């Protein structure tokens, strides 16, 4: 295996893994179940003074009773603390939220007038159930009740910024959670997604169509480094459905006397989400190489403390990692040089034994032994570095640290693409220069042309990704060139 072929294979492998990541390593589809019933919302404009109805068995209410259940004024309430605010209606719908650590407005994350609502199943249909809610200033909590269903509501905002709630009743009821959003893709390839967490995080693009079931702990909307989620106190068996209009219905399968959890909105800061608990930190998508990505994140945070500029922190961390990997790179560069020296002899063997593949292979291997060259020594270092490359890619593509983080000049937000494409152009030029430095060994002219086009293709792919990610690849390429020149000079001397 020639070194340039090794490089081509490594680049092709990188592209395959980046494109096919979710297909091969993402969660598998759950068993398909029948389409979930769409939400039925009953609202009125006037309050009634109808007498309380008898205690009801779950899902057996008559039409008249359903009318009395839903016939209450809809009012808005605000639950807040120093850092967070939630605006919700007494029909258990959430309209707006605020967190002082958020980088973007809540509505730009969810893009819906009613992004979250809780329904109660009556007559096997999810019905909007208004509550008579009052706020206790002393206890800092909301209490409410629906007399017809004997359904009690209790909610408050805790010190972690969680809107904690509980619904309790004499009779067991089933509940439906409905998330509403809008399909959207933003700069850097960020796609608005619905998340579900059971044993692992499932990610579905908003607007996809799917029905499935499983046991889950939390559900939410993920977009532009922010998370809006509803977390259950206990895992529950659910059936969920996604539709093309941007809706996710989550039906709790088993009736219960209590339904409780919390609503949370925040930037996806890994440490903050981990402090909240319930594995919310897994919403930060570090991918298959998370075990490598977390130390890289810690390194980025460390260098930022030394120099409070995330652009400089990326540069310092890149140089540090490339220096640690230099022993492997050194072997790779030495192998490239030896292969370059042997290239004329390899070409002679190809011409001499072109009709005898077995003999050609034997003679080529003998030539490698005499010349002290090992084709695998050039390939293995590249493969060994792939986990670090992908982990670094995931950290810079998923970490909220880069949001609104300036570097210098025109780069005022490292989470967004370079507005003038300066970094992608510099990266492409550096990759082209590195490609020209790489020995061509046994590559034919067609392969050489393909390799020369690779920097252009890679640059085109990277032009719309975050400038922080492009900065990393540019610096890594330039430092790799410097290392390569150093090794060649040492060998020459």
CA distances from 482 to 126, 323, 406, 433 (A): 65, 11, 27, 11
pLDDT band at 333 (very low <50, low <70, confident <90, very high): low
Residue 337's pLDDT is: 67
The fraction of the chain above a pLDDT of 70, given in percent, is: 77
Contacts for 229 with CB less than 8 Å, ≥ 6 apart: 195, 218, 219, 220, 221, 263, 264, 265, 280, 283
Residue 374's pLDDT is: 66
HSE (side-chain half, CA atoms, 13 Å) at 364:
24
| The pLDDT of residue 452 is above 90 | no
| The pLDDT of residue 156 is above 60 | yes
Residue 226's pLDDT is: 95
pLDDT band at 357 (very low <50, low <70, confident <90, very high): confident
Residue 168's pLDDT is: 96
Kindly calculate the radius of gyration of the chain based on its CA atoms and give it in whole angstroms: 29
Residues forming beta bridges with residue 99, ordered by sequence position = 84
| The pLDDT of residue 56 is above 50 | no
pLDDT band at 375 (very low <50, low <70, confident <90, very high): low
Spatial CA neighbour of 169 closest among 114, 122, 217:
122
Residue 47's pLDDT is: 33
Domain ranges of the chain: 3-20+290-492, 32-285
Contacts for 124 with CB less than 8 Å, ≥ 6 apart: 37, 59
**Helix residue spans in 215-325 (DSSP H):** 270-276, 290-306, 310-324
To 5 degrees, how large is the angle CA 66–CA 113–CA 217?
75
Mean pLDDT of all residues in the chain?
Answer: 81
Residue 11's pLDDT is: 45
Residue 36's pLDDT is: 30
Residue 186's pLDDT is: 81
Query: How many Å apart are CA 333 and CA 377, to the nearest integer?
Result: 9
pLDDT band at 33 (very low <50, low <70, confident <90, very high): very low
Residue 70's pLDDT is: 65
Spatial CA neighbour of 10 closest among 318, 337, 388, 339:
388
Contacts for 311 with CB less than 8 Å, ≥ 6 apart: 405, 406, 407, 408, 411, 414, 468, 471
Residue 27's pLDDT is: 39
| The pLDDT of residue 103 is above 70 | yes
Q: Where are the beta strands (DSSP E) in 90-246?
A: 93-99, 116-122, 125-127, 132-136, 141-146, 151-157, 163-173, 175-180, 185-186, 190-191, 193-197, 201-205, 210-223, 226-243
Residue 483's pLDDT is: 83
Query: How many Å apart are CA 489 and CA 484, to the nearest integer?
Result: 9
| The pLDDT of residue 306 is above 70 | yes
Higher pLDDT, 442 or 263: 263
HSE (side-chain half, CA atoms, 13 Å) at 274:
5
Residue 389's pLDDT is: 83
Residue 448's pLDDT is: 66
Residue 377's pLDDT is: 58
Taking residues 132-137, what's their average pLDDT? 93
Q: Which of 7-11, 396-400, 485-489 has the lowest mean pLDDT?
A: 7-11
Higher pLDDT, 441 or 471: 471
Q: Does domain 32-285 have CATH number 3.30.160?
A: no
Residue 42's pLDDT is: 31
Higher pLDDT, 5 or 109: 109
| The pLDDT of residue 39 is above 70 | no
Place of tokens 């889950």: 216
DSSP 31-85: PP-PPPPPPB----SS---PPPPPP--TT---HHHHHHHH-S---EEEEE-SSEE
Spatial CA neighbour of 11 closest among 330, 385, 319:
385
The fraction of the chain above a pLDDT of 90, given in percent, is: 52
Helices (H) and strands (E) in the chain, counts: 12, 18
Query: How many Å apart are CA 345 and CA 366, to the nearest integer?
Result: 11
Q: Which of 122-131, 337-346, 357-366, 461-470 has the lowest mean pLDDT?
A: 337-346
- Residue 401 is classified by DSSP as G
- Residue 374 is classified by DSSP as -
Residue 445's pLDDT is: 65
Predicted TM-score (pTM) of this structure = 0.77
Residue 167's pLDDT is: 97
Higher pLDDT, 128 or 438: 128
């Amino acid at each position: 295996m020639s070194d340039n072929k090794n490089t081509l294979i490594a680049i092709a492998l990188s592209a395959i893994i980046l494109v096919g990541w979710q297909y091969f390593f993402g969660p598998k589809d759950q068993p398909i179940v029948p389409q979930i019933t769409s939400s039925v919302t009953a609202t009125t404009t006037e309050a009634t003074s109808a007498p309380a109805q008898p205690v009801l068995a779950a899902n057996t209410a008559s039409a008249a009773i359903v009318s009395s259940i839903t016939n209450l004024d809809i009012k808005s309430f605000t639950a807040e603390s120093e850092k967070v605010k939630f605006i919700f209606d007494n029909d258990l719908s959430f309209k707006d939220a605020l967190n002082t650590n958020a980088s973007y407005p809540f509505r730009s994350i969810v893009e819906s007038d009613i992004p979250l609502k809780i329904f109660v199943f009556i007559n096997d249909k999810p019905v909007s159930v208004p509550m008579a809610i009052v706020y206790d200033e002393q206890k800092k909590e909301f209490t409410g009740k629906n007399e017809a269903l004997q359904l009690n509501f209790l909610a408050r905002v805790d010190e972690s910024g969680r809107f904690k709630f509980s619904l309790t009743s004499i009779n067991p009821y089933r509940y439906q959670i409905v998330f509403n959003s809008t399909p959207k893709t933003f700069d850097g390839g960020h796609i608005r997604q619905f998340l579900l967490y059971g044993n692992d995080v499932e990610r579905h693009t908003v607007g996809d169509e799917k029905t499935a079931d499983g046991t889950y702990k939390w559900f939410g909307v993920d977009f532009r480094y922010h998370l809006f989620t509803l977390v259950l106190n206990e895992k529950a068996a659910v059936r969920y459905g996604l539709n093309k209009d941007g809706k996710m219905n989550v039906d709790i399968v088993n009736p219960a006397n209590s339904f409780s959890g919390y609503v949370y909105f925040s930037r996806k800061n890994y440490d903050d989400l981990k402090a909240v608990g319930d594995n919310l930190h897994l919403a930060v998508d570090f991918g298959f190489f998370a075990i490598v990505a977390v130390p890289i994140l810690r390194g980025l945070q460390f260098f930022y403390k030394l120099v409070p500029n995330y652009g400089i922190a990326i540069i310092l961390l890149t140089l540090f990692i490339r220096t640690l990997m230099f022993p492997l790179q050194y072997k790779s560069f030495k192998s490239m040089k030896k292969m370059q020296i042997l290239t004329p002899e390899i070409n002679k063997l190809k011409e001499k034994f072109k009709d005898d593949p077995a003999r050609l292979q034997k003679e080529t291997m003998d030539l490698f032994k005499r010349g002290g060259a090992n084709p695998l020594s050039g390939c293995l270092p590249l493969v060994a570095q792939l986990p670090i490359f992908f982990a670094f890619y995931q950290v810079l593509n998923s970490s909220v640290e880069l949001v609104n983080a300036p570097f210098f000049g025109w780069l005022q937000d490292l989470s967004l693409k370079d507005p003038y494409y300066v970094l992608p152009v510099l990266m492409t030029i550096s990759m082209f220069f590195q490609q020209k430095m790489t020995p061509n060994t046994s590559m034919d002219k067609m392969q050489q042309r393909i390799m020369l086009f690779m920097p252009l293709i890679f640059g085109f792919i990277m032009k719309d990704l975050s400038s922080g990610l492009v900065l990393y690849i540019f610096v890594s390429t330039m430092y790799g060139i410097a290392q390569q020149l150093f090794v060649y000079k040492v060998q020459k001397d």
